[in-house]
Amino acid sequence: MFEPVISATGLFTPAESISNDELVESFNRYVDQFNHENASTIEAGTIEPLQHSSVEFIEKASGIKSRFVLSKAPILDPEIMCPRLPERPNSEISVLAEIGVAAARDALARAGRKPEDVDAVLCACSNLQRAYPAIAVEIQDALGIQGFGFDMNVACSSATFGIQTAADFIRAGHARSVLVINPEICSGHLNWRDRDSHFIFGDVATAILIEEKSIAPARHWDILGTRLKTQFSNNIRNNFGFLNRTDPDTRDARDKLFVQEGRKVFKEVVPMVAELIVSQLEELAIAPASLRRMWLHQANAGMNRLIAARVLGHEASPDESPTVLDTYGNTSSAGSIIAFHLNSEDLNAGDLGLICSFGAGYSAGTVMLRKSG
């Protein structure tokens, strides 16, 4: 029987970062400008004045202190407040594929692999740059990998869904080495003029190399089990798509960027995810106290605290549930993989850990791991 393992992970981090101080200063300049230009209609009661943001509000609401982005200056310009990434000709690699390739090369180097050793590429992320050809196939071509590739989107849960898909390919004998790549340019789908969400997202790319155990490096992670769950909800939504052009009156409406009902998401997702984790632990006959570490989705510090407490039965320490949210922001599908990538080397052979992601859909995925070697 073929056994899938995680051989290595990779990470690409943009060079530029935006602090909360910088973000708030820019946002509040936009607010002042908007309120000044619309003073008469505001006074007449036709529209409501915009409210300032603050560092204290952002950190209390999310736990985020900064975020990496590919295009900093335009985001902070009150006249633009959007990244500027010039469209490239078809003869050049796309931006999404480029950062995915960088993360993939990092994972391959850590595993001592060459591109020709890989059989398949899955590009699993929240927002694909285009419909076709698949970004995964472009990454495959850029790396010189044979075999096959395809894109998949399960929003913030894309990485864990990708891991199970890759693991199933290996269990079935369809591949021996699969790259799951999560390139996330979240700054492009964020409304930087929305006080309730302008601070949430950052840009990054991660990669996970899933392989058959017999060819994996000695220090790998055994995949003991995976669980996936979806439940339809409109509380996190992005309506951007090719059909927008068929209705010119609404194609630039607010819902063509990220929108959410944050309080509803918090209330509904926390118990769903905690139950999913607990049920998998029970299925695998693993006591919560045996979990050495949890690498949870990096969306909201409060959500992670509650989920970890429900699973472990106590408030999790930073060692039990590490965070990268403070410096990376919410990076959608890549978040739990960044947490794993940066906080797994210190574990010993036999230690148990859990990767968990959750988000729009609703969707959630868990991957139970045991350190080998």
Catalytic residues: 156
Tell me how far apart the alpha carbons of residues 7 and 211 are, in angstroms, rounded to a whole number.
6
Residues paired with 357 in a beta bridge = 365
Of the candidates 163, 182, 160, the one whose C-alpha atom is nearest the C-alpha of residue 171 is: 163
Tell me how far apart the alpha carbons of residues 118 and 250 are, in angstroms, rounded to a whole number.
44
CA distances from 315 to 19, 304, 318 (A): 28, 10, 10
Tell me how far apart the alpha carbons of residues 373 and 370 are, in angstroms, rounded to a whole number.
10
Of the candidates 168, 187, 155, 169, the one whose C-alpha atom is nearest the C-alpha of residue 16 is: 187
Q: Could you write out the DSSP letters of every residue in 188-241?
A: GSS-TT-TTTTTSB-EEEEEEEEEEGGGS-SS-EEEEEEEEEE---SSEE---S
Tell me how far apart the alpha carbons of residues 319 and 295 are, in angstroms, rounded to a whole number.
10
Tell me how far apart the alpha carbons of residues 229 and 164 are, in angstroms, rounded to a whole number.
12
Tell me how far apart the alpha carbons of residues 19 and 4 are, in angstroms, rounded to a whole number.
39
CA distances from 2 to 109, 162, 172, 175 (A): 24, 18, 7, 10
